[in-house]
Amino acid sequence: MIKHDFLIIGSGLAGLTYALKVAKRFPDKSLAVVTKAAANESNTKYAQGGMAVVIDTVTDSYEQHIEDTLKAGDGLCDRDIVEMVVREAPDRLNELLSWGAEFDKNTLGGFDLGREGGHSQNRIVHHKDITGFELEETLLSQVSQCKNIKLLSHHFAVDLITNHHIKEWKGKHDNQCYGAYVLDEKTGKIETYLSKIVLLASGGIGQVYQNTTNPKVATGDGVAMAYRAKASIQHMEFVQFHPTALYDTRPGQTFLISEAVRGFGALLRNKAGALFMETYDERKELASRDIVSRAIDSELKKSGDEHVYLDCRHLEPTSFENHFPNILQKCKELGIDWKKDMIPVVPAAHYLCGGILTDEFGQTQIANLFACGECACTGLHGANRLASNSLLEALIFAHRCYEKSSELIHQKDKIVNVLDWSEAGTTNPKELILITHNRKEVQAIMSNYVGIVRSDQRLNRAMNRLKVLYEETEDLYKKTKISPQLSELRNLITIAYLIVKQSQARTENRGGFYKEG
C-alpha cells in the first residue's frame, strides 16, 4: 500500500493548480498526482480561446459577466456560485501571472481582450490561440519545483476506495473516500493508494462521441468512478457541442476552430454561400454556443450537406494572423488558404456542463472526496456553459478545494483495513480488438441517437443498445485483467448511460439540451 496525504487524479489545470497550492502550504505533507497518459495530456492543453475575467470595470462590469453567464445557463445556474466565480476571477488571474503565465497585450500595454459567443463585452484574456497549452506548461513547470509532489504519468486510476472496500465495514457510517486503486501501466500492477484527501480533476467525456474536440484521454473516468462510488452525478444531459470544429471525415479528435475567431469577426455561411445566423438569433455568429450549434445542425439537415463554412476572408490579416497562428497553421497544412478559401466546419462534442455534484468548496457527497474542473458540476454552467468560463472555473474551484481540504487535513487518521485489489479469477486478455469494437459502437450509438437534437425514440434506442454493450463489457471485466482500454470502455459506457438516462428524464428543453416533441 502506498500512502500520501493528498491524492490528485488528473493533471490538467484544475489538478495541477490544486497540487501546487497544497504543496506550497504544506511542505511536510506528501502529494501524488496520478495521470493516465503523459503529464501534459489533458483537455486543458487544447483550450484555445482563453479565460473570461472582468479586467476593465469602466467598459465592463462583474454584473455583465454574471448576467451573460446566467443567460447562457438558461435558468439552471446557481446564482451564488456564478457571482462568486466572477468576482474571484481577478485574484486567480493575478496568481497565474505570478506563476509566470503570459497573456497577449495590446499596444497600450493592457491585456488584449478577446470576445466569444454569449459575451456582451470583450473580456477574454488569451495567449494567442493556445491559452490552455500556455497554462499547462506554466503549471507543470511550477509543480516540477515542488519536492513534495510525485507526478506519476501513465498511472490509471481504476476505482475510488470507499467504505465498500473496508474489511470491517458494516454499512453503518456515511460514505468516505480513502484513496484509489491505481494501475501502473508499466508494471501492469494495481496498487492501493491511500490518502486522507482525494481530488478528482479528471476532465471531460468527449470521447463518448465519434467527433469531439477532446483528446483521446477524455473518457469520463472521474465521473464514472464517482458514480460507482455512489456520489451524485447531475446535469449529464447538458453536453455542449462546439459549433466550429474543422470538418474532418476521420472519426476521433477533431481540430477546434476557436469561437474567438467568430469573436474577431468571422462569419458563418452555408454551402450555397449564404449567411444564415441572423434568422436564428439577433446576436448572429456571437449567439451562445447551443444556439449556433443548433442553427448549423438545422442548416445541415435542410441542405443535406456535411458542413458549413467559416468565412474569414474579409478580416484584417496582420492582427488576425497574430492572434490565431496555431489555427491558421493547421489550415495551411490542410491546403486551406484562409485569404481565399472558406474553412469547412461542423459542430463536435466539446464540454460536459454536468458531472459530479459539488458544493461551493468542491466537496462531493462522499467525505474527503473533492472534484473540480470539467468532471465537476458546480452550478456555474447550468444548462450551457458560457465560452471561456471553464479554465476560470477550474482555477476558482481548485483554490476553494485547496482552502477546504487544508482544514480537513488536520483530522485524525481513521484506522481502516482496506482490501487490496483482487485479480482472482481473471486472466490476461487474449485480444483487445473486442474492446476497440465496443468503444466504437458506444461512440456510434451516442453520435447517431444522442446528438444535438434528441427524441424519446432515439434515446430509447440508444439505451437498448447500450444495455447489450454493458452486459458484454461487464462479463469481460469479471474475467479479464484490467487494462486501461477495458477501464476506459467501462467508463465510457457508464457516461453514455448517464447521458441517455438523464436526457430521458428531462422534460423541458433548456440551454444545450433539445428534445423534439
Give how many residues touch ligand SIN by CB under 6 A.
10
Provide, rounded to whole angstroms, the least separation between the CB of residue 452 and ligand SIN: 16
SS3 for 207? helix
> If binding is defined by CB under 6 A, does position 260 make contact with ligand SIN?
yes
Window 32 to 91, contacts with ligand SIN (CB under 6 A): 47-49
Provide, rounded to whole angstroms, the least separation between the CB of residue 340 and ligand SIN: 24
How many residues belong to the chain? 517
Residues 6+ apart with CB under 8 A from 209: 239, 348, 349, 443, 446, 447, 451
- Is the Cβ of residue 307 or residue 323 nearer to ligand SIN in the bound state? 323
Residue that is written with C-alpha cell 486478455 in the block? 429
> If binding is defined by CB under 6 A, does position 390 make contact with ligand SIN?
yes
Active site residue 289: yes
Residue of the chain from 388, 405, 473, 494 that contacts ligand SIN (CB under 6 A) = 388
- Is the Cβ of residue 16 or residue 327 nearer to ligand SIN in the bound state? 327
Provide, rounded to whole angstroms, the least separation between the CB of residue 282 and ligand SIN: 21
Within 13 Å of residue 6, how many CA atoms lie on the same side as its CB? 37
Q: Is the dihedral of CA 500, 502, 506, 509 positive or negative?
A: negative
Provide, rounded to whole angstroms, the least separation between the CB of residue 353 and ligand SIN: 11
Window 101 to 140, contacts with ligand SIN (CB under 6 A): none
Provide, rounded to whole angstroms, the least separation between the CB of residue 79 and ligand SIN: 21
Residues 6+ apart with CB under 8 A from 169: 163
Q: Computed over its alpha carbons, how large is the radius of gyration of the chain?
A: 22
Residue of the chain from 180, 226, 295, 387 that contacts ligand SIN (CB under 6 A) = 387
Residues 6+ apart with CB under 8 A from 340: 313
Instruction: Kindly indicate which of the ranges 17-25, 255-263, 270-278, 469-477 contains the residues binding ligand SIN, using the contact rule CB under 6 A.
Output: 255-263
Task: Please answer whether residues 468 and 460 qualify as being in contact, where contact means their C-beta atoms are separated by less than 8 angstroms.
Answer: no
Residues 6+ apart with CB under 8 A from 316: none
Instruction: Kindly indicate which of the ranges 23-31, 153-161, 258-266, 341-349 contains the residues binding ligand SIN, using the contact rule CB under 6 A.
Output: 258-266
Q: Cell numbers for 202, please give them.
A: 479528471
> If binding is defined by CB under 6 A, does position 201 make contact with ligand SIN?
no
Question: Strands 308-311, 343-352: parallel, antiparallel or unpaired by DSSP?
Answer: antiparallel
- Is the Cβ of residue 143 or residue 266 nearer to ligand SIN in the bound state? 266
> If binding is defined by CB under 6 A, does position 259 make contact with ligand SIN?
yes
Q: Which residue is nearest to ligand SIN (CB)?
A: 49
Q: Choose, from 92, 289, 400, 465, the residue flagged as catalytic.
A: 289
Provide, rounded to whole angstroms, the least separation between the CB of residue 449 and ligand SIN: 25
Q: Is the dihedral of CA 260, 337, 135, 376 positive or negative?
A: positive
- Is the Cβ of residue 261 or residue 489 nearer to ligand SIN in the bound state? 261
**CA distances to 64, 148, 198 from 5, in Å:** 41, 10, 9
Footprint of ligand SIN on this chain (CB under 6 A)?
47-49, 258-260, 351, 387-388, 390
Residues serving a catalytic function are 289
